[in-house]
């Protein structure tokens, strides 16, 4: 017979199976820099955890953490805390987006609401859509992959990252839906981020090194660059596209992709959450 476990051991095992502890420690790091040096960031304040919202697709979900910028009260962060499975510790990002002329400052997109009066009474009182920014020093990618070898000897995996991106997008979209009825700032921007325990890397290679015949690349042609945080221009399902009485009418594919469907999601390694929040305040909040 196995040795009997104490109630404390049973509780610790149960807690460690779930993600609640990770969400809790991320919150404590943001609010109090704990664990750390006791010098918390001051750019963002913690508003809520497990915040219930209804996304445009009609589902019910909750946002792990909601933050509000102290300098511009209309800027919010909707955070999803994702503890990576130990079998899949490394998240790889590739196909880096570029700005005009090949510059590193690529375009990124956040859902915004601009109102002329509160409460919103007529269609003309508000504009609901996507706002375009430049990423500055944060790399932006089109593709992502989780790398490990599982029991089936599968080297690549996307489901965990995809699940995190879809969850944070649902939460952010539901958060913005509530703003249509709330009182508050005259301009609101919701920024989705995924905080993870996974290691983050950029997979660097030349597209010309990919075989056109079989779509593969040699290991010797790939270099890995560690990342503290990055961004992904993510396309969720069509039910989460920006659709409201205050959104412009969509008339062509290009506009549908850029201003109704594309949402930029930041991905942050958990040890760098305070560094990222300070960067976000300095480079994106406006």
pLDDT at position 251: 79
Q: What is the pLDDT of residue 3?
A: 64
Find the radius of gyration of the CA atoms of the chain. Answer: 20
- The SS3 call for residue 114 is strand
Predicted confidence band of residue 106 (pLDDT cuts 50, 70, 90): confident
The most confident of the ranges 25-34, 36-45, 72-81, 217-226 is 72-81
Name the token pair of 210.
Answer: 């990919």
Per-residue DSSP letter, 56? T
Q: How far apart are the C-alpha atoms of 208 and 87, rounded to whole Å?
A: 31
Instruction: Give one word for 201, left, alpha or beta, with left for phi > 0 and alpha for psi -120 to 50.
Output: beta
Confidence bin at 246 (pLDDT 50/70/90): confident
Which runs of consecutive H residues, i.e. helices, occur in the chain? Answer: 7-17, 20-32, 159-179, 253-255, 273-283
**pLDDT-derived band at 17, boundaries 50, 70, 90:** low
Quick check: 2 pLDDT over 90? no
Cα separations in angstroms, 13 against 8, 21, 64: 9, 12, 22
Question: CB of 189 within 8 A of CB of 127?
Answer: no
Q: What value does the mean pLDDT take over residues 27-41? A: 87
Counting every residue, how long is the chain?
Answer: 286
Tell whether the model's pLDDT for residue 105 goes beyond 70. Answer: yes
Rounded average pLDDT over 172-192: 92
User: What token pair was written down for 216?
Assistant: 């593969």
pLDDT at 179 over 80: yes
What does the pLDDT read at residue 180?
87
Instruction: Indicate the pTM of the whole model.
Output: 0.89
List residues bridging with 221 in a β-sheet: none
What is the spatial distance between Cα 275 and Cα 137, in angstroms, rounded to a whole number?
Answer: 13
Residue 88: band (very low, low, confident or very high) from pLDDT cuts 50, 70, 90:
low
pLDDT at residue 270 is higher than 70: yes
The Cα 196–Cα 80 span in angstroms is 8
- What DSSP designation does 228 have? S
Whether 174 and 61 have beta carbons less than 8 Å apart is answered as: yes
The total of other beta-carbon atoms located within 10 Å of residue 169's CB is: 24
The pLDDT confidence band at residue 100, using thresholds 50, 70 and 90, is confident
Contact 186, 118 (CB under 8 A): yes
Instruction: Tell which residue, 41, 53, 91, 54, has the closest CA to residue 229.
Output: 91
200 vs 251, residue with greater confidence: 200
What does the alpha-carbon distance between residue 62 and residue 45 come to, in Å, rounded to a whole number? 19
What's the whole-number mean pLDDT along residues 27-40?
87
Cis ω on the peptide bond leading into residue 35 (within 30° of 0)?
yes
Least confident range from 100-109, 116-125, 164-173, 266-275: namely 100-109
Q: Which of 108, 106, 237 is nearest to 162 (CA)?
A: 237
Whether pLDDT at 156 is above 60: no
Q: Give the bridge partners for 144, in sequence order.
A: 93
What are the tens digits of pLDDT across the range 187-245?
Answer: 999 999 999 999 999 999 988 989 988 989 999 999 999 999 999 999 888 888 887 88
Q: Within 10 A of 273 (CB to CB), how many other CB atoms are there?
A: 21
Q: What is the mean pLDDT of the chain?
A: 87
Q: In Å, what is the CA distance from 231 to each residue of 60, 135, 266? A: 26, 8, 4
* Residue predicted with more confidence, 244 or 77: 77
């Amino acid at each position: 017979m196995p040795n009997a476990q104490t109630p404390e051991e049973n509780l610790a095992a149960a807690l460690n199976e779930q993600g609640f502890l990770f969400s809790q420690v991320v919150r404590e790091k943001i609010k109090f820099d704990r664990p750390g040096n006791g010098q918390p960031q001051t750019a963002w304040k913690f508003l809520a955890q497990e915040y219930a919202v209804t996304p445009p697709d009609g589902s019910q979900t909750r946002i792990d953490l909601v933050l509000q910028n102290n300098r511009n009260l209309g800027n919010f962060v909707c955070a999803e805390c994702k503890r990576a499975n130990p079998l899949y510790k490394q998240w790889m990002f590739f196909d880096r987006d570029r700005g005009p002329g090949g510059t590193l400052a690529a375009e990124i997109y956040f859902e915004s609401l601009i109102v002329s009066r509160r409460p919103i009474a007529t269609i003309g009182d508000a504009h609901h859509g996507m706002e375009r920014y430049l990423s500055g020093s944060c790399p932006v990618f089109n593709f992502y992959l989780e790398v490990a070898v599982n029991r089936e000897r599968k080297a690549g995996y996307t489901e965990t990252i995809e699940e995190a991106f879809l969850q944070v997008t649902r939460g952010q979209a539901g958060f913005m839906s509530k703003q249509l009825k709330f009182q508050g700032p005259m301009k609101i921007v919701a920024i989705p981020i995924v905080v993870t325990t996974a290691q983050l890397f950029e997979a660097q290679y030349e597209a010309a090194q990919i075989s056109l015949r079989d779509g593969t690349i040699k290991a010797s042609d790939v270099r890995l660059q560690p990342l503290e945080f990055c961004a992904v221009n993510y396309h969720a399902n069509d039910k989460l596209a920006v659709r409201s009485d205050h959104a412009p009418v969509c008339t062509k594919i290009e506009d549908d992709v850029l201003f109704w469907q594309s949402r930029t999601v930041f991905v942050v390694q958990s040890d760098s959450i305070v560094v990222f929040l300070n960067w976000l305040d300095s480079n994106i909040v406006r």
